[in-house]
Chain A
């Protein structure tokens, strides 16, 4: 989902910065508030960031014959709400742009929008919907991470199609072309990401029940007994 350095026309690159900036500013405030209001959650916050950091470095082969990577933003979005992830995801993307020549500074706004904003929001929305219709924690987390990852890649597809319409078939043709490259490749990876995120949340349920109850993922003990 990384749009390479310089591979968006300057006006569009700038436009994505304008779109992403308010989310990141709001996210930084949310992050500071979270740490102040609940200092005990700092370590878990670090763990959620670490999860994104590790997962987005893993290139995994897919059925389309190319490889791609998970985003890892679903976990933090479910635990700490999407605004916090706009900052954590942005840090990961900045690291990759500066040190790995992966993504880029000029395309940072666009990449932040797909991976650190839309992905986490879709993840959080999916989680909330599954929980609201009575789904358990594991299915909700699976839906969150899987759909969030797919959403991130779909946004990249749309961004590239807007910037590079097909010479023959225009934007629609470009959507199909980039969709074939990114979205189809991502389907098995999104499922992997969903499964891994469920695994981590299951382990968290064992070691960090108090944190999950405080963050609202598990019901308070008293309610369970009632």
Chain B
């Protein structure tokens, strides 16, 4: 494997490891292990300031946790999809450019051989 791909693979592995290690070692805490930090902060506010009343509520709330995670998945899929599309287009362009410059070089070499 070339060095470029090897480094990329290592980067991906490191990201996976960083996510898997807390799970594998069971570091989850509280009633719901690995709940979102946003929700934990919200709970901390409610605990320490019982008199605080949120003065505005979400206009739309996904009716269930399943639908909420579906929408999150949709968000990730749209982002990843567009990113993948970009790399597809960019790679094809790069290849066409390479092919064009090779062809140009080939013609130049042939022309200089004729002259010589």
| Residue positions of A touching B, CB distance < 8 A | 1-7, 9-10, 43-44, 46-47, 49-68, 95-102, 104-106, 156, 160, 164, 166-167, 177-178, 181-182, 185-186, 188-189, 191-192, 195-196, 198-200, 202-204, 206-209, 211
Count of B interface residues, CB-CB < 8 Å: 58
Closest CB-CB distance, B110 to chain A, in whole Å? 25
**Closest 9 interchain pairs by CB?**
A54-B79, A6-B54, A65-B29, A53-B79, A50-B82, A47-B86, A207-B90, A57-B75, A6-B56
A57-B72, A64-B29, A195-B15 are contacts. A101–B60 as well, Cβ < 8 Å?
A: yes
Write out the residue numbers on chain A whose beta carbons fall within 8 Å of the beta carbon of B15: 192, 195-196
Q: Which residue of A lies closest to B97 (CB)?
A: A210
Question: Cβ of B58 < 8 Å from any Cβ of A?
Answer: yes
Residue in B11, B28, B41 whose CB lies within 8 Å of A61: B28
| Contact call B30/A65, Cβ cutoff below 8 A | yes
Residue with the greatest number of chain A CB neighbours at <10 A, chosen from B18, B30, B37: B37
| Residue positions of B touching A, CB distance < 8 A | 4, 7-8, 11-12, 14-15, 18-19, 21-23, 27-30, 33-38, 40-42, 44-45, 48-49, 52, 54-62, 68, 71-73, 75-76, 78-83, 86-87, 89-91, 93-94
Q: Which residue of A lies closest to B32 (CB)?
A: A66
Q: Which residue of B lies closest to A43 (CB)?
A: B86
Write out the residue numbers on chain A whose beta carbons fall within 8 Å of the beta carbon of B11: 195-196, 198-199, 202
Closest CB-CB distance, A15 to chain B, in whole Å? 15
| Contact call B27/A64, Cβ cutoff below 8 A | yes
Beyond known contacts A54-B75, A164-B49: 16 more, CB 8 A cutoff: A2-B38, A5-B56, A47-B83, A51-B79, A53-B76, A56-B75, A58-B76, A64-B27, A66-B35, A160-B41, A166-B48, A185-B37, A192-B18, A195-B14, A206-B4, A207-B91
Closest CB-CB distance, B73 to chain A, in whole Å? 8
